[in-house]
Structure 1
Amino acid sequence: MSRELHSPTDRRRFLKGAAGALAVPAAAGLIGTRAQPAHADDTAGLPDFDPIPTTSAGPTPNTDGYHVGRIDGNLYWVTDSYYQAMFLTTTRGVVLVDAPPTIGHNLLRAIDDITRTTGRPSKVTHLVYSHSHADHIGAAGLFGHDVIRIAHTETARLLTRAADPNRPLPTITFRDTHRVKVGGEVLDLAYHGPNHSPDNIFIHAPEYNTLMLVDVLYPGWVPFKNLAVSQDIPEWVKAQHIAMDYPWHTFVGGHLGRLGTRTDGTLQIQYMNDLDASTRSAIATVDPTPYFAKYGTQGNSWAIFKTFLDAVADTAATPVATKYAGILAAADVFTKDNAWALLESLRIDTGILGPFGIRP
């Protein structure tokens, strides 16, 4: 790999520091994820959260800040413990799926690590976009102009609007399904409708029993804030079940530090079922009277909505966060935010309006 592809020294120093922060020894069955601060005052006032279960942690990144490993056969994955990418080595070159900017130039190093030992070509010839979001494909510009970029038609529309040079437009688009065949290897791409984003696709490696679906399932962790900031919550929930209908043993979720298993998928669906039941119960039982009484006399409608909906989300989240503490990482971090997002979807998408329904 040529030297001009390497990132600047300060970025490498940052990545090494990040790797060190994540490499905290396990103790008493738990592993921490916060680095020792340079100055104690830097963390004054920041909240404390539960330790991360060892079952949620992935492999420790190397000194450059990444881990690359084989999934099966010629299929590999790369992680910096925050984001993930996947790639296939073929007799003609490398098929890469996503290019997260936090991994950045380390994608090139990881590919070089593998192809140097296998003797296969190291050039990335094809780049698949899981969806348009910059946090997953924001380093796509690193791979030159002659790469074949494959994405859903909606991804092309969104990237045209974004006009981001770090996310070049796809050269091949599809609406429903597309088979990528390169140098004896195959990836099957499919669109099952909007979920996390309007364009998020399923990437299946049938020969290697692996499915990649980004921002839907989070192996070992609760979903990111507000149910992954998803644009269509009912379809995002549905996508979890569609994923489980695929025949796979290994799951690549695009985030965090480890691969997933079918048990992980089942566990997240259980978490979401519990959160749904708890949120439905909370909106039916939390008394709205105090919020209308205090803020209604002030004419502050938004204050009524905020305080009541926050109270419902808190009521819904508390038993669920308690149940999954020590089972799913960050249950105490994002469960209230996830309950709030689900509550809004129940109100707007499902018609469970609570005190904001049809006036008697």
Structure 2
Amino acid sequence: MPDHLIPVMAGHLVRADPGFMSTIELPEYAPVPQSATGPALNEHGYYVGRVERNLYWVTDGGYQAAFLTTADGVVLFDAPPTIGHNLQRAIDEIAAANGVPNKVTHLVYSHHHADHIGASSLFGPDVVRIGHAETKRLLARTGDPARPAPDLTFDTKHALEVGGETVNLAWHGSNHTPDNIYIHLPGHETLMLIDVVVPGWASFAAFNVNVDVPGSIAAPDNALDYPWKHFIGGHLGRLGTRDDLTLHQHYLADIVDNVRTALATVDPMPFYARYGDNVWAAVKAYLDTASAQAAAPVVEKYSGVLGAADVFITSTVFVILESLRLDLGEGLYIHP
């Protein structure tokens, strides 16, 4: 690859000033284990594959969507803009091979974030869009024409029936976002839960930028309560398994245990003594030190097991540390 092109996401490049690149020193990270990688993309920059029976998934290596073919049309689950028009290309490819309709009649929103449904408008005004009631409220607030608000909403549960197929939609409380839902296809042994677990990988920056940390830690437990074999997590290149969610639970449990140890053993007073009236500097130094102490054993244990175990770990640990302090009240000092 030419040194003036930087891979931002699989299949997407941006130009950089070669002189600028020669003046910065990029960090080294542990190799990504083979178990984290997915299938190769085609010449159009996507991969489409069967999950189970007439359920298929699409990826561009960075994002994932899925679709269900039926005699009455196609049900699409999410519409990431990085995949964009390749969603319809993938649907056309499968429909032509199987002799089924290629018209998207229903589009299920996992949640309101633009990176997962920002290509919704490509499917026109005649598609029935389904999502949580909070998704509709949040999209009404943004007014983004690329993300039309859902036509059909629900609060806790909804059974979507199209062409003899049933899709169970459920909300079990906030996690990654206030509106993120569980999409269960019992006839296809599949669960879709976006932005909570990335199979084969450690968490993205700041613990996946989750708005509800306790809810996100609990979400894999809720997911494993469902019967399923295949898992669609919304990101990167491969499908998941139940073992992937169990591994993610262990990863989070180790982070939480190490954070509790750091909160109990790192003394904040030397940092306040060092920085005097610059309180933010003292707090930053204390939290950085505690986060680094908690992160180190996680990196050692999961490098070579989860992709990018050493990349976003400090920011993820910091977010979980702050949640333990602020959401759960752990590690706070009572003035005598």
Compute the TM-score of the two structures, normalised by the length of structure 2.
0.94
Aligned mates of 2:235, 2:20 — CA distance in 1: 30
Q: Is the 8 A contact 2:166 2:185 kept in 1?
A: yes
Select which of 200, 219, 230 maps to 2:180: 200
Residue 43 of structure 2 is matched in structure 1 by 63
Question: How far 1:20 moved relative to its partner?
Answer: 9.7
Aligned mates of 1:283, 1:195 — CA distance in 2: 24
Which is worse superposed, 265-274 or 180-189?
180-189
Question: How far 1:41 moved relative to its partner?
Answer: 6.0
Question: How far 1:294 moved relative to its partner?
Answer: 1.4
Select which of 210, 219, 234 maps to 1:239: 219
Give secondary structure in 2 for the equivalent of 1:52.
Answer: coil
Give secondary structure in 1 for the equivalent of 2:327.
Answer: helix
Q: Is the 8 A contact 1:94 1:122 kept in 2?
A: yes
Question: How far 1:290 moved relative to its partner?
Answer: 2.2
Question: How far 1:39 moved relative to its partner?
Answer: 5.0
Paired residues, number: 328
The alpha-carbon distance between structure 1 residues 38 and 81, as it changes in their structure 2 partners (threshold 3 A), is farther
Which ranges of structure 1 fall in alignment gaps of 5 or more residues? 1-13, 22-34
Give secondary structure in 2 for the equivalent of 1:306.
Answer: helix
Opposite residue 269 of structure 1, the aligned amino acid is Q
Residue 42 of structure 1 is matched in structure 2 by 21
Residue 318 of structure 1 is matched in structure 2 by 296
Residue 3 of structure 2 is matched in structure 1 by none
Residue 312 of structure 2 is matched in structure 1 by 334
Question: How far 1:18 moved relative to its partner?
Answer: 4.4
Q: Is the 8 A contact 1:225 1:338 kept in 2?
A: yes
Opposite residue 42 of structure 1, the aligned amino acid is M
Residue 331 of structure 2 is matched in structure 1 by 353
Give secondary structure in 2 for the equivalent of 1:350.
Answer: coil
Q: Percent identity?
A: 54
Give runs of ≥4 in structure 1 deviating > 2 Å.
Answer: 17-21, 37-44
Select which of 52, 57, 75 maps to 1:72: 52
Opposite residue 359 of structure 1, the aligned amino acid is H
Compute the TM-score of the two structures, normalised by the length of structure 1.
0.88
User: 2:286 matched to 1:308?
Assistant: yes
Which ranges of structure 2 fall in alignment gaps of 5 or more residues? 1-5
Residue 27 of structure 1 is matched in structure 2 by none
RMSD: 1.9
Deviation track 1:297-340 (CA, whole Å, cap 9, x = no partner) reads 2x112112111111111100001111000000000001111110
User: 2:93 matched to 1:117?
Assistant: no
Q: Is the 8 A contact 1:19 1:62 kept in 2?
A: no
Which is worse superposed, 219-228 or 150-159?
219-228
Residue 227 of structure 1 is matched in structure 2 by 207
Residue 272 of structure 1 is matched in structure 2 by 252
Give secondary structure in 1 for the equivalent of 2:129.
Answer: strand
The alpha-carbon distance between structure 1 residues 303 and 180, as it changes in their structure 2 partners (threshold 3 A), is same
Deviation track 1:131-181 (CA, whole Å, cap 9, x = no partner) reads 000111011110000100000000000000010000001100001111111
Which is worse superposed, 147-156 or 56-65?
56-65
Opposite residue 311 of structure 2, the aligned amino acid is V
What does 1:132-147 align with in structure 2 at a 5 Å threshold? 132-147=112-127
Residue 7 of structure 1 is matched in structure 2 by none
Question: How far 1:287 moved relative to its partner?
Answer: 2.2
Q: Is the 8 A contact 1:203 1:213 kept in 2?
A: yes
Opposite residue 331 of structure 1, the aligned amino acid is A
Aligned mates of 1:176, 1:279 — CA distance in 2: 33
The alpha-carbon distance between structure 1 residues 49 and 40, as it changes in their structure 2 partners (threshold 3 A), is farther
Opposite residue 300 of structure 2, the aligned amino acid is T
Aligned mates of 1:38, 1:302 — CA distance in 2: 35
Residue 25 of structure 1 is matched in structure 2 by none
More helix by percentage: 1
Q: Is the 8 A contact 1:19 1:63 kept in 2?
A: no
Aligned mates of 1:210, 1:180 — CA distance in 2: 15
Aligned mates of 2:291, 2:118 — CA distance in 1: 33
